[in-house]
């Protein structure tokens, strides 16, 4: 059995050890075992988390992150990983069993078959599915057609955070995670090495009100992401979302990326339809499990 220990904050040495475990898992599985938010919460001084470490013979064998702030539905949300060298020895089951028994959701990134099997064994079932889609970038991307009076410019740090958060909240008030984005969250991502204000495109109406945005992200020289596309509900249905998506794709193309990925809820049929028409195809899926 593994030795389990809970921590409200990781030391720098613990964070480095966890990062190595996560990298080993990603190298084996081809997909990151935890999301970006977890990596941000591993930093010194980060709050709202509990970290569960599982060691075997003094070596870190598994890690679980518990978001105690929870999602907009009031669920505590966990993500976990087991080092490839310690798999199929019960470490994953020990981690899950040590998590809170009530009102818990657990993400399994990439739809890993081991995660599906473990979920079934421990009495969990699929609660959400987040599709990951991708597009091979072409030179002949259509020119975006903006609604009358709408113009696009790039994000200005220190000026646009509040307006983005306001529109984001209106656009994603239904979303368990995205709708809770705060000004502090935006500023924290501005400190990330991937952040590029030139790829954060904002759409304004003729009264200079923000009505939508497309936040792009470059992971590697070959891979970009449609990170977030948000449109104010008052402007939805008029083609602004498609125009912003195309504008961001053209920006990523100009960065010489070869492929673009995105995440979309499987039951968001309107968005899936738009992305499919643009040429995106299914890559894999993240599954959230609940008891």
Q: In three state form, how does the secondary structure of 225-277 look?
A: EEEEEEECHHHCCCCHHHHHHHHHHHHHHHCCCCEEEEEEECCCHHHHHHHHH
34 is in an annotated binding site: no
Residue 11 among known ligand-binding residues: no
* pLDDT for position 111: 77
Question: Which tokens belong to 49?
Answer: 């988390």
The structure tokens listed for 90 are 């019960």
Query: Which domains does the chain show, CATH number per domain?
Result: 3-123 (3.40.630.30), 134-285 (3.40.630.30)
Q: Is 276 annotated as a binding residue?
A: no
- 111-120, 204-213, 220-229, 259-268, range with the lowest pLDDT: 111-120
pLDDT at 130 over 90: yes
What's the rounded Cα separation, in Å, for the pair 170 and 196?
24
User: Is 239 flagged in the annotation as binding?
Assistant: yes
Q: Is 22 helix (H, G, I), strand (E, B) or coil?
A: helix
158 is in an annotated binding site: no
Pick the closest to residue 42 from 76, 62, 66 (CA basis).
66
- Element of type H or E holding 127: strand 125-136
Q: Provide, rounded to the nearest whole percent, the portion of the chain with pLDDT above 70.
A: 100
270 is known to lie in a ligand binding site: yes
Tell me the pLDDT tens digit for each residue of 19-65. 999 999 999 999 999 999 899 999 888 889 999 999 999 999 999 99
241 annotated binding-site participant:
yes
Crossing angle of helices 113-121/91-98, nearest 10°? Answer: 50
Choice among 80-89, 92-101, 170-179 with the minimum mean pLDDT: 170-179
Q: Which pLDDT score, from 0 to 100, does residue 53 have?
A: 98
* CA angle centred on 121, ends 104 and 60, rounded to 5°: 70
Q: Assign 190 a pLDDT band (cuts: 50, 70, 90).
A: very high
In this predicted structure, the answer to whether residue 85 has a pLDDT above a threshold of 80 is yes
pLDDT-derived band of residue 139, with 50, 70 and 90 as boundaries? confident
């Amino acid at each position: 059995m593994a030795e389990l220990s809970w921590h409200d904050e990781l030391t720098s040495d613990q964070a480095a050890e966890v990062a190595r475990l996560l990298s080993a898992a990603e190298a084996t599985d081809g997909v990151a075992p935890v999301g970006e938010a977890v990596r941000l919460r591993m930093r010194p001084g980060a709050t709202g988390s509990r970290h569960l470490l599982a060691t075997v013979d003094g070596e870190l064998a598994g890690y679980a992150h518990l978001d105690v702030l929870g999602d907009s539905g009031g669920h505590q949300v966990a993500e976990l990983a087991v080092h490839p060298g310690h798999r199929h020895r019960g470490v994953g089951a020990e981690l899950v069993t040590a998590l809170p028994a009530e009102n818990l959701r657990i993400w399994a990134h990439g739809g890993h078959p081991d995660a599906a099997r473990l979920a079934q064994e421990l009495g969990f079932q699929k609660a959400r599915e987040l599709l990951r889609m991708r597009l091979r970038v072409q030179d002949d991307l259509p020119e975006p057609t903006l609604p009358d009076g709408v113009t696009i410019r790039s994000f200005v740090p220190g000026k646009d955070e509040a307006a983005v958060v306001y529109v984001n909240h209106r656009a994603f008030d239904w979303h368990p995670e995205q709708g809770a984005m705060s000004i502090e969250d935006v500023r924290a991502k501005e400190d990330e090495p991937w952040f590029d204000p030139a790829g954060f495109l904002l759409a304004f109406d003729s009264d200079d009100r923000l009505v939508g945005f497309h936040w792009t992200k470059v992971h590697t020289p070959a891979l970009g992401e449609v990170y977030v596309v948000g449109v104010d509900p008052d402007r939805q249905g008029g083609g602004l979302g498609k125009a912003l998506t195309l504008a961001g794709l053209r920006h990523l193309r100009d960065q010489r990326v070869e492929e673009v990925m995105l995440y979309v809820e499987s039951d968001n049929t309107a968005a899936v339809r738009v992305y499919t028409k643009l040429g995106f195809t299914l890559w894999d899926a993240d599954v959230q499990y609940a008891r």
